[in-house]
Amino acid sequence: MRQFYKDNRIVPLGIMLLTFFIFVYHFELGRQVPLGEIPAASAPNTFVVESTDPKAAAKYADETVDQPVHHTIPSPVPSAKPPISTSTSSHSLHQAKGLATDDVILMFKTGATVLWKRVPIHMATTFSPNRIDSKNIIIYSDYHETIGQWDIIDVLSNSSDKVRKSETFQPYLQQQDYEDRQNYAEMSNVPGDAAGPSGGWKLDKYKFLPIIEHAGRNKPSAKWYIFMEDDSYIFLPNLLRHLDQFDHKDPWYLGSLAWIHGDYFAHGGSGFALSRGAWEKSFGKDPKIVEKFEKFTEEHGCGDHILGHVLHEYGVQFGETTDDNRFRYGFNPESHWSTWYEPANWCKPVYSWHHTHSKDVARFYNLEQSWDFEKGPLRYRDIYEALVAPYLRPRAEWWDNWSGKYEIKSSMAASAEPPSTVKSTETWRSAWTSVDACEAACISWADCVQWSFYEDRCKMDSMVLLGNGIPEGDSRRQTSLPWVSGWLPRRIENWACQE
Ligand SMILES: *[C@@H]1O[C@H](CO)[C@@H](O)[C@H](O)[C@H]1NC(C)=O
Ligand SMILES: *[C@@H]1O[C@H](CO)[C@@H](O)[C@H](O)[C@H]1NC(C)=O
């Protein structure tokens, strides 16, 4: 009897092992998985594969971030360097001495039509006294308000008569009438809501020069002026560590690179930092900057560009040279779920996110609070682990189709050239035929980490971007077939850091 039970345990085990080997064998034949990859069943109809070549991953991680981060660059990547500023040189990078939040001013920009929606979350997070003292924060808007202890400055109040006559400036003048007629620019779905004067966002460009002028004039002992918008989050401890490598007496202007009309500048939404040295070299030398560039401001549309242009006029360059990514990486023009994670940025610190929802701001703050910065900065991989990886699945229906490095469509599949790590051209070219075939093609390419499939199209990428799915009950489900996306998280986890 005992013997029987024993056999009874061995037989199913034998069957399981046999099934497994048949599965693996079938798999090797059918999918042409490159040598060394061992598929492991992880969910019905899906499989996750270990990355094969840690050396390749390490080599990749070694490369600089210069590779353009597609979809998220706010403007074209410049093709030429501007002249190097005379007084800035690499010797001004110095050893960390421990920059504190008391050494910086946080310039926070909002506007009357979005303030009530976007600012309160920051009062519970970004402006927390355990993070930065309120005397180091200035909130700038285009209408004066008071919320609790916070006095919100109307930074356009000193605008000249000439500016006040401008067509684009009219929403500023109309704001008072909204107030006087008991309207609320809150859009919180409560009776009495109004959107505020139309075109209110156009006022934004007028704010940048007066903000910098005001902050530098009123807080002359600050070493750095850190700018952020109301739909951004800045990991302050990370950024302070970064800024501490630069001498604040030199003219530094650091952020996410953008480019318009031949001017290089720091993209406003990504946040940026201006050293006291840069302020003194420009605004400090000329108290009439706002007036002097009224015409330029009138003729251009983006305040961050206007500021960058003005700084250049006074010899303050963006970074040291625009294409050295020491001066611009880590400031992101998008949020964590619409940014690419790749070996090149995996181990780098993150300074900012833009287009943040209030929920994201809360999550970033929680993560920052729980982080031990003594052990090291928050890196892209840490954000990935905390806020991206939990959403990834081997396969998800109704998920956005972001993957894009390679696209195989029925119309061009026959001539599609696979990347060199793909052993089977056949597997690659048949990627468009089904969800399974698309997934198999991704697996056959050693660098592939995400794929998506729709009708007769398979897209694959060597970087990962979370995007978002279309939930049940969403009307978009009525208007198309389901996109199917999938990720290979085990390969992502194998991206290496040189530590
Ligand atoms: C406007 O001008 C007054 C008087 O010069 C000054 O005290 C104030 O700080 C200015 N406001 C801003 C926002 O620059
Ligand atoms: C995603 O798929 C839809 C079709 O459902 C298409 O219209 C859209 O252009 C695709 N988006 C991207 C980013 O490829």
Nearest CA owner, ligand 1 atom 3: 158
* Closest ligand 2 atom, residue 404 Cα: 14
Q: How many helices (H) and strands (E) does the chain have?
A: 16, 18
Query: What pLDDT does 322 receive?
Result: 66
In this structure, what token pair is assigned to residue 378? 């928050």
- What is the separation of C-alpha 341 from the centre of its chain, rounded to a whole number of angstroms? 10
Query: What pLDDT does 9 receive?
Result: 54
Q: What is the CA radius of gyration of the chain?
A: 27
Indicate if ligand 2 lies below 6 Å from the C-beta of 71: no
In 3-state terms, what secondary structure has residue 137?
strand
Task: Report the separation in Å between the CA atom of 457 and the middle of ligand 2, taken as the mean of its atom positions.
Answer: 11
Strand 272-275 versus strand 224-229 pairing type = antiparallel
In this structure, what token pair is assigned to residue 18? 């046999």
* Closest ligand 1 atom, residue 155 Cα: 13
Task: Report the separation in Å between the CA atom of 401 and the middle of ligand 2, taken as the mean of its atom positions.
Answer: 6
Q: Residue for token digits 């605008």?
A: 159
Task: Tell which one of 401, 477, 484 to mutate to probe ligand 2, the residue whose CB is within 8 A of the most ligand atoms.
Answer: 401
Buried b (16+ CB within 10 A) or exposed e, 258-283: bbbeebbbbbbbbbbbbbbbbbbbbb
Rounded-to-integer distance, Cα 437 and Cα 441, Å: 6
Positive or negative, the CA dihedral 325, 247, 106, 110 is: negative
- What is the separation of C-alpha 482 from the centre of its chain, rounded to a whole number of angstroms? 27
Nearest CA owner, ligand 1 atom 6: 158
Q: Digits of tens for pLDDT over the chain (499 positions)?
A: 444 444 455 545 544 544 444 444 443 333 333 332 322 322 222 222 223 333 333 322 332 222 323 333 333 333 333 333 333 333 344 444 589 999 999 999 999 999 999 999 999 999 999 999 999 999 999 999 999 999 999 999 999 999 999 999 999 999 999 999 999 988 888 988 888 898 888 999 999 999 999 999 999 999 999 999 999 999 999 999 999 999 999 999 999 999 998 899 999 999 999 999 999 999 999 999 999 999 999 999 999 999 999 999 999 999 876 677 778 889 999 999 999 999 999 999 999 999 999 999 999 999 999 999 999 999 999 999 999 999 999 999 999 878 789 999 999 999 999 999 999 999 999 999 999 999 999 999 999 999 999 999 999 999 999 999 999 999 999 998 999 999 999 999 999 886 5
Indicate if ligand 2 lies below 6 Å from the C-beta of 470: no
Can you give the pTM of this predicted structure?
Answer: 0.80
Task: Report the separation in Å between the CA atom of 207 and the middle of ligand 2, taken as the mean of its atom positions.
Answer: 36
Query: What pLDDT does 8 receive?
Result: 52
Task: Report the separation in Å between the CA atom of 156 and the middle of ligand 1, taken as the mean of its atom positions.
Answer: 9
Q: How far is CA 258 from CA 127, 215, 326, in A?
A: 27, 23, 15
Kindly state the helix (H) or strand (E) to which residue 161 belongs, with its residue range: helix 161-164
Indicate if ligand 1 lies below 6 Å from the C-beta of 74: no
Among the bound ligands, name the one nearest to the CA of residue 140.
1
Indicate if ligand 1 lies below 6 Å from the C-beta of 157: yes
Query: What pLDDT does 97 receive?
Result: 55
Nearest CA owner, ligand 2 atom 9: 401
Task: Tell which one of 107, 140, 153, 157 to mutate to probe ligand 1, the residue whose CB is within 8 A of the most ligand atoms.
Answer: 157
